């Protein structure tokens, strides 16, 4: 990739990040802080001995939900909003290709999600340390939480790639509907695979095809394993990251193809 | 040298289910723009002006035809660094300030930071936006946004500037400012290609114009040639011409328009000498004598084959 191309992608990404910050997307962190504080206070009053597991579970779930919602609802507007408002016109008249624009938009929102997730992770660890300082937690919080967080981030990138693809081919509203539907279906991928048990008439090749074609969001969920102390091998995490990266690359390629000759 | 050449450009929009319905926005459009000239693309709403600009800039894909920009085929991205574009009804990110947006535009053009800073300061000053340089664009008026649009189009000091309805939404001061900018570009040897349906702007600025109607080229030519055609009348501005004298003129003017103490008479060229003699003899003071040229507006309506006030026409904002 040439330095000019990289500089243009970074310029688009920086502007996308700035947009999310100025549009107060990161305000969800306030809700996260609220969830952590309130749950910490409630659990202290209830004196539950397993409060660290509940805090971890709540924290990771909140990260997952907030991150996915941001990826969907900001992601679907990344391109379609630019087309609808025509803010794209003066940009594409410059030496900026449509593929560079897409990559820049994806990178910008991916960075926003990273910052968001990073701050929430720090918040979760801070809450756990606060509990430990109160004497309610024997062992310090371990690094396994980071494995679950990394898997959540990999899932968000894939959600973002799905949203970006729909954003290039349809309106913001329809892109949100399609992305949301695909994320929900992908989270219950195992149900599709086991559909033959519920509906015996469905041919196995069809369920297998759907199962392997649709993005499998269920595998990004390592929360339960980590919260219950199960050690997740590094190889599993690498596979999850590779899956997200390769699937996202394919989706981005399709989006670039669809966008290349689209009349604006 | 030609800055822009369009050859047999055709664009049909398809819509409806499976694209079974279609609408031809451009049909076999060919024209060329010389380097250093101000070229006006005229036509009523829906005539294909914006489609032409979009096709040139690659925002839409033409079905047929060839486009050459600054001597390079449209598919070669090298020309893009040397052009600027102001879209019609522009929208810029309202969470940014003018300074931030112009820096963003400059970065996309690969401009170094020091050059960007100097250029941003100069453009904001020239276009009267220095006072609001650090105000979020969501607080800008329509006219201010339009001026910012012009600033971003000029950010990379382009050789060829495309302006789609550049006077749209501007007050008289803003309109004059944009006119001056276009003339300054011409003086600097730049090429300006702009679309408008405001004929007075085209008349004041363009070296050549092209007239579009329903996606087809009706006429193209030098403005002075077009407007010199059919000069058959002369306008005489007089004062001290009493009403009874006016009524008793032997040479009857084609038009007689009284404006307070002054009177504007329009006569055929052949009877001018006779009228001037009679006016002088009857004590009128002749203030000015000048030929009545055909206005672009007259030309426009004649070429379009419609009369003023017919549907879809706007002569001025």
**Mean pLDDT, residues B79-91:** 95
Residues of B in contact with A15 (CB under 8 A): 93, 96, 104
Greatest mean pLDDT among A10-14, A31-35, A65-69: A10-14
- SS3 at position A171: coil
**Mean pLDDT, residues A65-69:** 90
| B140: confidence class by pLDDT, cuts 50, 70, 90 | very high
Chain A: residue nearest B86 by CA? A90
CATH architecture under which domain B231-292 falls: 2-Layer Sandwich (3.30)
**Interface membership of B109 toward A (CB under 8 Å):** yes
Rounded to the nearest integer, the mean pLDDT of chain A is: 88
pLDDT tens by residue, B212-235: 988 999 889 887 777 666 566 888
- What is the spatial distance between Cα A113 and Cα A145, in angstroms, rounded to a whole number? 17
**Mean pLDDT, residues A127-153:** 82
* Closest listed residue to residue B37, CA positions, set B244, B188, B173: B188
With a pLDDT cut of 90, the percent of chain B lying above it is: 56
Calculate ∠ Cα A62-A63-A67, nearest 5°.
115
Asked if the domains B2-227 and B231-292 are classified in one and the same CATH topology, the answer is no
pLDDT recorded at residue A48:
54
Q: Which of B83, B92, B96 sits opposite A93 (nearest CB)?
A: B83
Chain A: residue nearest B149 by CA? A90
Distances from the Cα of B213 to the Cα of A83, B184, B301, B313, angstroms: 27, 30, 11, 12
Which ipTM did the prediction report?
A: 0.87
- For the cut 80, the answer to whether the pLDDT of residue A196 exceeds it is no
For an interface test with B, the pick among A5, A19, A26, A94 (most B C-beta atoms closer than 10 Å) comes out as A94
| B316: confidence class by pLDDT, cuts 50, 70, 90 | very low
Query: In this complex, do B61 and A97 lie within 8 Å of one another by their Cβ atoms?
Result: no
Contacts 24+ apart (CB under 8 A), A70-73: A70/A25, A70/A28, A70/A109, A70/A112, A70/A113, A70/A116, A70/A156, A71/A109, A71/A113, A71/A156, A71/A157, A71/A159, A71/A160, A71/A163, A72/A159, A72/A163, A72/A176, A72/A179, A72/A180, A72/A183, A73/A176
pLDDT recorded at residue A150:
96
**Mean pLDDT, residues B295-300:** 72
- What is the spatial distance between Cα B212 and Cα B222, in angstroms, rounded to a whole number? 15
| B317: confidence class by pLDDT, cuts 50, 70, 90 | very low
**Mean pLDDT, residues B198-218:** 88
Query: In this complex, do B162 and A85 lie within 8 Å of one another by their Cβ atoms?
Result: no
- SS3 at position A216: coil
Token pair in block for residue B32 = 């060329």
| A258: confidence class by pLDDT, cuts 50, 70, 90 | very high
| A47: confidence class by pLDDT, cuts 50, 70, 90 | low
- What is the spatial distance between Cα A175 and Cα A50, in angstroms, rounded to a whole number? 41
Residues of A near B (Cβ–Cβ under 8 Å) read 4, 7-8, 11-12, 15, 18-19, 22-23, 85-87, 89-97, 261, 263-264
DSSP secondary structure letters along B50-92: HHHHHHHHTSS--SEEEEEETTEETT-GGGGGGEEEE-SS---
Break chain B into its structural domains and give their ranges.
Answer: 2-227, 231-292
**Mean pLDDT, residues B248-253:** 85
Calculate ∠ Cα B71-B59-B66, nearest 5°.
40
Residues of A in contact with B58 (CB under 8 A): 92-93
**Mean pLDDT, residues B200-217:** 89
pLDDT tens by residue, A81-129: 999 999 999 999 999 999 999 999 999 999 999 999 999 999 889 888 8
Secondary structure percentages of chain B, helix, strand, coil, to 5 = 35, 30, 30
Q: Is A24 left (phi over 0), alpha (psi -120 to 50) or beta?
A: left
Q: How many CB atoms lie within 10 A of CB B211?
A: 22
3.50.30.50, 3.40.50.11780, 3.90.330.10, 3.40.50.300: CATH of B2-227: 3.40.50.300
| B166: confidence class by pLDDT, cuts 50, 70, 90 | very high
Q: Is A182 left (phi over 0), alpha (psi -120 to 50) or beta?
A: alpha
- What is the spatial distance between Cα A44 and Cα B11, in angstroms, rounded to a whole number? 69
Query: In this complex, do B77 and A97 lie within 8 Å of one another by their Cβ atoms?
Result: yes
| A42: confidence class by pLDDT, cuts 50, 70, 90 | confident
Token pair in block for residue A62 = 């909140």
Q: Which of A4, A8, A23 sits opposite B95 (nearest CB)?
A: A23
pLDDT recorded at residue B315:
39
- For the cut 80, the answer to whether the pLDDT of residue A59 exceeds it is yes
Instruction: Scan for tokens 């499976």, then name that residue.
Output: B18
């Amino acid at each position: 990739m040439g330095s000019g191309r990289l500089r243009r992608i970074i310029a688009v990404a920086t502007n996308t990040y700035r947009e999310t910050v100025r549009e107060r997307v990161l305000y969800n962190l306030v809700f996260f802080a609220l969830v952590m504080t309130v749950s910490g206070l409630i659990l202290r009053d209830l004196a539950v001995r397993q409060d660290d597991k509940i805090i971890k579970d709540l924290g990771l779930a909140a990260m997952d939900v907030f991150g996915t919602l941001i990826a969907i609802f900001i992601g679907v507007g990344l391109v379609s909003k630019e087309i609808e408002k025509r803010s794209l016109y003066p940009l594409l008249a410059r030496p900026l290709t449509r593929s560079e624009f897409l990559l820049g938009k994806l990178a910008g929102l991916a960075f926003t999600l990273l910052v968001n997730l990073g701050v929430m992770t720090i918040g979760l660890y801070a809450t756990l340390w606060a509990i430990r300082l109160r004497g309610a937690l024997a062992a310090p919080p371990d690094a396994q939480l980071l494995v679950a967080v990394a898997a959540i981030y990999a899932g968000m990138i894939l959600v973002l790639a799905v949203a970006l693809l729909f954003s290039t081919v349809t309106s913001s509203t329809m892109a949100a509907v399609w992305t949301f539907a695909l994320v929900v279906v992908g989270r219950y991928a195992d149900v599709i695979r086991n559909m033959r048990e519920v509906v015996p008439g469905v041919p196995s090749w069809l369920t297998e095809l759907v199962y392997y074609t649709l993005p499998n969001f269920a595998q990004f969920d390592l929360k339960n394993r980590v919260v219950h102390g199960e050690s997740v091998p590094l190889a599993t995490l690498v596979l999850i990251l590779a899956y997200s990266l390769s699937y996202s690359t394919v989706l981005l390629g399709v989006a670039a193809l669809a966008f290349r000759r689209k009349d604006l | 040298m030609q800055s822009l050449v369009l050859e047999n450009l055709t664009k049909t929009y398809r819509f409806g289910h499976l694209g079974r319905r279609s609408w031809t926005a451009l049909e076999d459009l060919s024209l060329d723009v010389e380097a250093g000239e101000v070229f006006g693309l005229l036509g009523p709403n829906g005539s294909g002006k914006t489609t032409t600009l979009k096709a040139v800039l690659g925002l839409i894909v033409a079905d047929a035809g060839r486009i050459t920009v600054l001597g390079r085929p449209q598919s070669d991205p090298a020309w893009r660094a040397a052009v600027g574009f102001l879209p019609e009804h522009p929208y810029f990110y309202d969470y940014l300030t003018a300074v931030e947006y112009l820096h963003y535009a400059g970065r996309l053009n690969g401009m170094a930071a020091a050059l960007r800073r100097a250029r941003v300061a100069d453009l904001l000053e020239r276009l009267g936006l220095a006072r609001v340089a650090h105000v979020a664009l969501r607080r800008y008026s329509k006219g201010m946004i339009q001026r910012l649009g012009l600033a971003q189009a000029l950010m990379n000091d382009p050789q060829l500037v495309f302006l789609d309805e550049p006077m749209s939404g501007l007050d008289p001061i803003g309109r004059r400012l944009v006119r001056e900018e276009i003339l300054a570009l011409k003086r600097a040897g730049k090429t300006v290609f702009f679309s408008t349906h405001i004929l007075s702007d085209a008349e004041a600025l363009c070296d050549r114009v092209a007239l579009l109607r329903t996606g087809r080229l009706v006429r193209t030519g030098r403005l002075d040639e077009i407007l010199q055609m059919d000069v058959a009348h002369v306008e005489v501005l007089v004062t001290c011409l009493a009403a009874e004298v006016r009524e008793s003129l032997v040479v009857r003017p084609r038009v007689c328009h009284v404006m307070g103490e002054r009177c504007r008479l329009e006569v055929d060229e052949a009877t001018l000498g006779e009228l001037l003699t009679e006016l002088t003899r009857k004590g009128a003071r002749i203030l000015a004598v000048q030929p009545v040229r055909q206005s672009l507006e007259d030309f426009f309506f004649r070429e379009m084959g419609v009369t003023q006030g017919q549907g879809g026409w706007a002569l001025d904002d």
